[in-house]
Structure 1
């Protein structure tokens, strides 16, 4: 995944305090990672298990990353997020539970779909920048039924938090997932977070941004 900042590693953030205990491990070599435990911050009352695949460029071999840890953001619970933007592809599944060391069961990553759903979206992806210019039009597939445009930036010293993309996304990613996954730090400032179910007609040229796009918020996080 090269220079990509792993979203899988940012999915559940920890704060001060103490509460329930959760299994705490990360593995790219299979689900059965070391069963270390962590005592969660006092404000945390759930454990999260995550399965995530990120691909960039011409990678064609899936290698899921599995995580178990304390969960601070309930927006990430029991979700499936999917994104295709430029050469970047993401599939992300999670489950949450509310008891000591309850995040033991295996989680299954939802399979990708190659079946076109009729939507077309402008597409690009940029890490380390808050601007990307679409250079192609994607035929969206499966549950990726929204065109998304997203950009977040950050102040000096946090340049790595900058990201911008346009492409096909699941509705769940549009609603809150893009913010929770791509701009979780307080230093990040959301510039653009827009989605639309109306892309270019099949066989037609995509506009710079789909007509009818609705902003989903633009404020410091």
Structure 2
């Protein structure tokens, strides 16, 4: 019996409990960096995530940065998304690391691509409601090959804010159902739809215009 107990004690000493990752976890909706005391992650969360988002409202000349740092998984890592809804433009970048408290450095937003890719989407934006009316065709740029429609509620940084966006976006924003840009508990996605971008039907338009001119000439 004593030999059995001795063996169990030795085995217990050899078993070292696993330790989970610790990361910065904070949100600042008005600046490009934030800091916090390290937080212990869940065992399924293998990476420290930093997501920086830049939103530009050309109508009011507003250019705002926001940062989210959290525990996460590899699927949240290393994505750059772009959204274009006419007056509203957004670009996000996520960066990850997998050592304790490693998501402390400041990250920077890359320059947004401005070259048209030949696609377009109907667009509109509302910063105060979950609905907006499609008002214009917006030309998609760079890797924006999807048309998106989504409604999101922002629950951090002051009073609750409702937002609606229709416009062009990159595929990875669709693949994550908006999570790549609106990450964490500060955002509640109400609805999210995605479809392929549209190419202008120039040939059909010219044919219709030619037919109309012939009708006018011979009527």
Q: TM-score range by the shorter chain?
A: 0.5 to 0.7
How far off its partner does 1:135 sit? Answer: 0.6
Q: Is the 8 A contact 1:129 1:153 kept in 2?
A: no
What's the counterpart of residue 47 of structure 1? Answer: 48
SS at structure 2 position matched to 1:114: coil
Tell me, in whole angstroms, the C-alpha distance in 1 between the residues paired with 2:46 and 2:75.
Answer: 14
What aligned pairs does 1:130-145 form with structure 2 within 5 A after superposition?
Answer: 130-145=130-145
SS at structure 2 position matched to 1:173: helix
What aligned pairs does 1:89-168 form with structure 2 within 5 A after superposition?
Answer: 89-151=89-151, 160=160, 162-168=162-168
What's the counterpart of residue 21 of structure 1? Answer: 22
How far off its partner does 1:191 sit? Answer: 3.5
Number of residue pairs matched by the alignment? 181
Tell me, in whole angstroms, the C-alpha distance in 2 between the residues paired with 1:24 and 1:181.
Answer: 16
SS at structure 1 position matched to 2:82: strand
Long gaps (5+) in structure 1:
1-17, 206-221
Aligned CA distance change for structure 1 residues 54 and 189 (closer, same or farther; 3 Å): closer
Tell me, in whole angstroms, the C-alpha distance in 1 between the residues paired with 2:26 and 2:60.
Answer: 25
Aligned CA distance change for structure 1 residues 186 and 134 (closer, same or farther; 3 Å): same
SS at structure 2 position matched to 1:174: helix
Tell me, in whole angstroms, the C-alpha distance in 1 between the residues paired with 2:65 and 2:167.
Answer: 22
Tell me, in whole angstroms, the C-alpha distance in 2 between the residues paired with 1:196 and 1:176.
Answer: 16
Q: Is the 8 A contact 1:149 1:193 kept in 2?
A: yes
- TM-score normalised by structure 2 residue count: 0.64
Whose helix proportion is higher, 1 or 2? 2
SS at structure 2 position matched to 1:100: coil
Tell me, in whole angstroms, the C-alpha distance in 2 between the residues paired with 1:167 and 1:137.
Answer: 9
Tell me, in whole angstroms, the C-alpha distance in 2 between the residues paired with 1:66 and 1:198.
Answer: 32
TM-superposition CA deviations, 1:102-126 (whole Å, max 9, x none): 2244533121122111111100112
SS at structure 2 position matched to 1:37: coil
How far off its partner does 1:50 sit? Answer: 2.5
Q: Is the 8 A contact 1:51 1:65 kept in 2?
A: yes
What aligned pairs does 1:77-92 form with structure 2 within 5 A after superposition?
Answer: 77-92=77-92
Bigger radius of gyration among the two: 2
Long gaps (5+) in structure 2:
1-18, 206-219
